[in-house]
Copies of this chain bind each other. A is one copy, B any other.
Amino acid sequence: MPPITFRHARATDLPTILTLLADDAIARSRTGYAEEVTPAIDAAFKEISADPNNEIIVGEQDGQVVATLHLTYIPGLGRGGLRRALVEEVRVRSDLRGQRIGEALMVDAMERARARGCALIQLTTDKRRHEAQRFYARLGFVASHEGMKRPL
């Protein structure tokens, strides 16, 4: 496998990131799905880039963005002041699956979270994503919680 480097996303990566986010049947089934950089997405990216507690990470291989995730670092009062990392919007380009790119992406995210003082990393994954759940379990995640959501 060609080497992958992980770095913060730049504004010029946004179209590719949106393509990665859209390359997913469950994501496409949801409301608000967008494949173009709308003003709302541009504003969200600017806000994330300016916030030290939010990071969009991309994996680059042969000069192409092939994977992405969103990390949020969250201070907390529980468990003695435990800081946690939340992972959202994990994607690997679908034609490149099975090459352990996702594993490298998540290992990089866990290293970033540790470096930021997090003692816990967490995510929610749609119950229909059985393969994703096996993937996260192999990386040491435990499905100890119900992930409950509500539109507002």
Q: Which residues of chain A have a CB within 8 Å of any CB of chain B?
A: 14, 17-18, 21, 27, 30-34, 38, 40-45, 47-48, 51, 53-54, 56, 70, 72, 74-83, 85-86, 88-89, 110, 113-114, 118-127, 133, 136-137, 139-152
Contacts and interface: CB of A to CB of B under 8 A. Distances in A.
Contacts of A56: 77
Nearest to A33: B79
Contacts of A147: 122-124, 143-147
A137 B149 CA distance: 9
28 contacts: A18-B77, A21-B77, A27-B79, A33-B79, A40-B80, A48-B75, A51-B53, A51-B75, A54-B75, A74-B88, A78-B89, A110-B152, A118-B152, A119-B151, A120-B149, A120-B150, A120-B152, A122-B147, A123-B148, A124-B146, A124-B148, A125-B146, A125-B148, A126-B144, A127-B143, A133-B148, A139-B150, A145-B146
